[in-house]
Structure 1
Amino acid sequence: MNKFQVLTLSGALALGLMGSGASFAQEQEARDHARAAAVAAAKAEGKAESVTLEEPTRSYFDWGAILNPDGRVMSVRSDSVAQEMGIEVGDHILKIDDQVLAEQSLQDLVSYLETLEHDHSFTVTVQRNGQKKTLSGRVKATVIPGWRLEVDVAQTVIDKADEASCGRVSVFVTPPQARDLYPAYFVRIDDDNVLTRRPIVKLSPGKHTVEIHELIDDPWVRRSRSINHPKSIEIDVEADTTYYLAARFVRDKRLSTVNEEYWEPVVWREVEQECESN
């Protein structure tokens, strides 16, 4: 996958977040696109410790008419600016504002349209049934917000162990959704904030309180982001053991979103794995 494909994937993140009232499903879709872009960026950059992709804010204007090379209108999209102006199939475009088609290529004329800013007024002169008509319109541009995606390739582990021996807690592995288990991310461990981009944490043997936040994307779940809080689970960490955490979807309580009874943090897998503290 090349960088152009990565940018295309990442662009979906900006589109997914355009509306301030974006639903959780849209946010989750944006996360999925961002995750795919992050994986692609990491592969593209090889051994780089971090990768940054970004694009500035931009806009484009699609006025809704398709023209053949000589400027004749082939089709007009419903509810488009072209339709609102009164452009009809069969019209022959003569000029847009003071840009005369006979003096330039159709591509140059279309490029001029695309550079017009939002809410800018413009005119189109057409020939229809042997008569010239001048039609007026106003630009309705689509704005794509700027975005920045930082991918931390090298550092996936936080070492919070105080002793030579240690165990791990992890949200790195995607749990099986067939068992109603969904991804999560760390929020806090033993009253210490954790960077959410670190999916593995080394801990000293003993009891630890781990807070995670759910990333359940089941269509049955309808919750407000304002009341969506992390939950804690206590784990008695043993040396050389990795504990994989997930958010378990409690399907029979899927409508209990106010009290957040629809999910609970769980350890879904334990694996014996050598662990050495730095």
Structure 2
Amino acid sequence: MIIQTNCLRRYASLVGSLALIVASTAHGATSADLVGQVAPLAKATQQGMVPSADERLREELKVLLLDMIESGAFGSPSPANIDLAIDAPRQRISSLGVLVDSSGSEAARNGLRVLGTTPGGSAQRMGLQSGDLITAVNGSGLSGLGESEAGMAQAAVILREKVDGAGNDPLRFDVVRNGKAMVVSGVVASTWIPAVHLRLGDGFAVASADNRVAGSAEAQDGCGRVSIFDVAPRQQSLHAATLISIDGRRSPFGGQTSFRLSAGTHVLTVAERIESRYLPFNDRLRNSNTSEPYKTLTIHVAANTTYLLAAKLNQDRRNEWRDGAYWEPVIWKETSESCTP
């Protein structure tokens, strides 16, 4: 495992950046078409003509997006119905540059074994070497921690969290090298990437005045959006949520994180996706709560407004798994954004 923070979010940010790309794929562009568009860029590079950052991003996004569509990453909807909105704050990308054996609890019984370091990277500059056994980071022990839910060593999860949260503060590693205990320390190199506000597709109208539940308010002119893209701040006990239905209607939601709604009142059916490490009970108890697996939230959608949906962890009731009292769906942020395609 290479310890590098936020790589998944960075990957998602790349995927969702340009509506231009969606237009080409949604109107019948094939793999050959896109490869044909990328080839001139590669040729220009070979001839010493350096492409601009904008050109590089556009071409790389075309290839990445095509690969994701063909691999089924967006689920069953056709490319014309893919709707993805990505909003992410400015963020720090930190890279320790160390490869450790995170294959399971047995491999990390006594700590994390260093398999290699990136030449010139932070780990190498600090003095970490292949063969070192990292037993603690900033005073947190890494031995005997077992496996994470993903089946990897929990020690590697702790190491990643420490790197993510280090900022400009130094990291201290307790290391065993050739049977001798020692300490290495240093600051992890990091880079700031700008805030992201990207749109993929023209949007998919999943709810309108024609499919309201009984008792809903009359529709207003215009439309707004509900987004489940996960940028909710954990320090505010806000976590990812999944949209199950809108006004009682289940649509092919696979691959969507943004949903266009007519202005007016709508009823959302929501499921929580709170990470297990934030909960005091295990997933067996969590999943046994079949009587109330989902919760509803009624919202009044204003025209040209995007509503960010999340699952709020109720800290004062976080142990109450039986009735799902530990969480509730909330709109945690509203932003002004045009809804028209």
TM-score, normalised via structure 1 length: 0.46
- For the pair shown, the structure with the greater C-alpha radius of gyration is 1
- More strand per residue: 1
